[in-house]
């Protein structure tokens, strides 16, 4: 059972190359967006604790478990990108909705009524599509009407993804699913019970190395590149999100909670280009 558990956790804490930004990967980061009729949400473990290095944030990664299906035998619904023609699970994409006045707005939780469009590109690709008019044309086709694309749409999406990820962490903390405190995390990690290990973006290198090593010991993976995930948020922001003081590192033990956090963080990290 220990071997099976370790293999499952390696989906969150393992070493494997990342897909190129803007392409279609196992997490569903597909180029473009898709139309959706009415009725019709990954991160990986990575290393590096240097907040100045985006490259350091992209190492030691492997695909996480797939999001849980809803209903017996159900699968995560896919959407076809209107720009690339590629399909991707809607849980890994970002939905765009249309306001009554024709203004496009992010619908991160995919709750807005009516027709929608889905985007799976990162911020850089999105801004290029906006500048060249490709986004406006694609959305006009998807919504079957003229649209108004705000100049700050990329900013709106990034802020919404950050808020969704931090809200998810806060919910898991209030539900008792998150462990904080270096010694508590080290103890759980060495016992092999940590499903997902997270570090603040400004965490000190020595503390990060200590916890990453404990994680490898608990998973019987000493000498590997397995390490915790660096969150694109400082300790001050994490502390506010969790309602606790001085949160620098945190860990999740329940597999379901780890998967939920992993998915929310993955969309945020993917959009700002940390998974590319």
Q: Are strands 249-252 and 94-98 parallel, antiparallel or unpaired?
A: unpaired
In words, the CATH class of domain 35-156 is alpha beta
**pLDDT for 6:** 53
- Give the Cα separation of 177 and 251 in Å (integer): 9
Q: Where are the domains of the chain?
A: 35-156, 161-271
35-156 and 161-271 agree in CATH topology: no
Top pLDDT among 122 and 203 is at: 203
* Mean pLDDT for the stretch of residues 156-168: 97
Q: What is the pLDDT of residue 121?
A: 87
Evaluate whether 26 touches 82 at the Cβ level (below 8 Å): no
Sign of CA dihedral 89, 15, 221, 47: negative
pLDDT at 164 over 70: yes
Answer whether residue 238 shows pLDDT above 90. yes
Q: Predicted confidence band at 153 (pLDDT cuts at 50, 70, 90)?
A: very high
Spatial distance between the Cα atoms of 28 and 17, rounded to a whole number of angstroms: 15
The pLDDT score that the predictor gives to residue 83 is 59
Question: What are the φ and ψ backbone dihedral angles of 119, each rounded to 5 degrees?
Answer: -125, 140
CATH topology of domain 161-271: 60s Ribosomal Protein L30; Chain: A; (3.30.1330)
Averaged pLDDT for residues 71-89: 66
In this model, does residue 7 exceed pLDDT 60? Answer: no
Across the beta sheet with 116-119, the strand order is: 35-36, 116-119, 94-98, 104-106
């Amino acid at each position: 059972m220990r071997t099976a558990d370790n293999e499952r956790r390696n989906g969150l804490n393992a070493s494997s190359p990342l897909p190129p930004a803007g392409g279609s990967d196992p997490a569903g980061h597909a180029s473009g967006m898709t139309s959706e009729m009415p009725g019709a949400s990954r991160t990986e473990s990575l290393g590096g604790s240097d907040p100045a290095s985006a490259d350091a944030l992209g190492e030691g990664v492997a695909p996480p478990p797939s999001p849980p299906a809803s209903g017996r035998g159900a699968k995560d619904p896919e959407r076809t990108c209107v720009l690339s023609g590629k399909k991707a699970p809607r849980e890994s994409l970002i939905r765009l909705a249309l306001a009554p006045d024709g203004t496009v707005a992010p619908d991160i939780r995919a709750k807005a009524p009516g027709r929608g469009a889905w985007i799976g590109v990162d911020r850089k690709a999105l801004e290029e599509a906006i500048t060249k008019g490709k986004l406006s044309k694609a959305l006009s086709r998807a919504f079957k009407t003229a649209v108004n694309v705000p100049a700050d749409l990329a900013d709106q999406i990034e802020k919404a993804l950050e808020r969704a990820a931090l809200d998810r962490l806060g919910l898991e903390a209030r539900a008792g699913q998150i462990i904080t405190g270096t010694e508590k995390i080290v103890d759980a990690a060495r016992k092999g019970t940590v499903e997902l290990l997270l570090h603040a973006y400004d965490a000190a290198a020595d503390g990060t190395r200590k916890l990453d090593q404990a994680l490898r010991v608990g998973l019987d993976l000493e000498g590997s590149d397995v390490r915790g995930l660096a969150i694109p948020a400082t300790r001050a922001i994490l502390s506010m999100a969790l309602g606790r003081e001085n949160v620098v590192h945190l860990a999740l033990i329940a597999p379901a909670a780890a998967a939920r956090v992993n998915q929310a963080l993955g969309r945020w990290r993917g959009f700002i280009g940390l998974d590319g």
